[in-house]
Chains A and B, each alone.
Chain A
Amino acid sequence: MIEVQGLNKFYGDFQVLKELDFTINKGEILGLLGPNGAGKTTTMRILTCFLQPSSGTIKVKNYNILDHPLAIKNMIGYLPESAPLYGDMLVYDYLAYVAAMRGLDGGLMVRRIAELVELCGLKEVVHKAIHELSKGYKQRVGLAHAMMGDPEILVLDEPTSGLDPNQIVEIRQLIKEIGKEKTVVFSTHILSEAEATCDRVVIINRGAIVADGATDRLVREFGGGAVVDVTLHFPDAQLVTAELRRVVGVERLEDFSEVGEGLVKMAIFGKEDEDIRSALYRVIREQGWDLLDFHRRTETLENVFAQLTREN
Chain B
Amino acid sequence: MSGALTVFRKELRGFFFSPIAYIVITTFLLLSGWFFFSTFFLYNQAELRNFFSQLPIIFAFIVPAVTMRLFSEELNSGSFELLSTLPVTDSGIVMGKFLAALTFIALMLLPTIAYAFSAALLGDLDWGPVFGGYFGALLLAGAYAGIGLLASSLTKNQIVAFIVGMAICFMLTIFDRMLFFVPESVLSVFAYLGSTTHFQNISRGIIDTRDLLYFLSIMFLALYATTFVLKEKR
On A, residues with C-beta under 8 Å from B are 45, 48-52, 69-70, 73-74, 76, 78, 80, 82, 84-89, 93, 97-98, 100-103, 145, 149
Residue B85, interface by CB 8 Å = yes
Known contacts A70-B89, A80-B85, A98-B86; 17 further A-B pairs (Cβ under 8 A) = A49-B84, A50-B81, A73-B85, A73-B87, A73-B88, A80-B78, A80-B82, A84-B79, A85-B79, A86-B77, A87-B77, A88-B14, A88-B18, A100-B6, A100-B9, A101-B3, A101-B88
List B contacts of A149 (CB < 8 A): 87
Residue B181, interface by CB 8 Å = no
On B, residues with C-beta under 8 Å from A are 2-3, 6, 9-10, 13-14, 17-18, 77-79, 81-82, 84-89, 234
A49 to B78, CA, bound (A): 15
Is B17 within 8 A of A88, CB to CB? yes
Is A145 within 8 A of B6, CB to CB? no
User: Among the listed A80, A82, A97, which residue makes an inter-chain contact with B10, where contact means beta carbons less than 8 Å apart?
Assistant: A97
A82 to B82, CA, bound (A): 11
Is B85 within 8 A of A52, CB to CB? no
A78 to B13, CA, bound (A): 25
A263 to B2, CA, bound (A): 76
A277 to B79, CA, bound (A): 57
Shortest CB–CB separation between residue A153 and chain B, in angstroms?
12
Shortest CB–CB separation between residue A67 and chain B, in angstroms?
13
User: Among the listed A76, A82, A85, A86, which residue makes an inter-chain contact with B85, where contact means beta carbons less than 8 Å apart?
Assistant: A76
Is A102 within 8 A of B86, CB to CB? yes
A84-B77 contact given A70-B87, A101-B6, A145-B82, CB 8 Å threshold: yes
Cross-chain pairs A/B with CB under 8 angstroms, 23 sampled: A50-B84, A50-B234, A51-B234, A69-B89, A73-B85, A73-B86, A74-B87, A80-B78, A80-B82, A84-B77, A84-B79, A84-B82, A85-B79, A85-B82, A86-B79, A88-B14, A89-B14, A89-B17, A97-B10, A100-B2, A100-B9, A101-B6, A103-B87
List B contacts of A51 (CB < 8 A): 234
Q: Select from chain A the residue with minimum beta-carbon distance to B6.
A: A100
Shortest CB–CB separation between residue A176 and chain B, in angstroms?
24
A82 to B10, CA, bound (A): 22
List B contacts of A98 (CB < 8 A): 86
List B contacts of A74 (CB < 8 A): 87
List A contacts of B17 (CB < 8 A): 88-89
A49 to B87, CA, bound (A): 10
List B contacts of A52 (CB < 8 A): 234
List A contacts of B10 (CB < 8 A): 97
Q: Select from chain A the residue with minimum beta-carbon distance to B18.
A: A88
Shortest CB–CB separation between residue A144 and chain B, in angstroms?
12
List B contacts of A84 (CB < 8 A): 77-79, 81-82
Shortest CB–CB separation between residue B152 and chain A, in angstroms?
16
Shortest CB–CB separation between residue B12 and chain A, in angstroms?
12
A76 to B89, CA, bound (A): 15
User: Among the listed B14, B18, B86, B89, which residue makes an inter-chain contact with A101, where contact means beta carbons less than 8 Å apart?
Assistant: B86
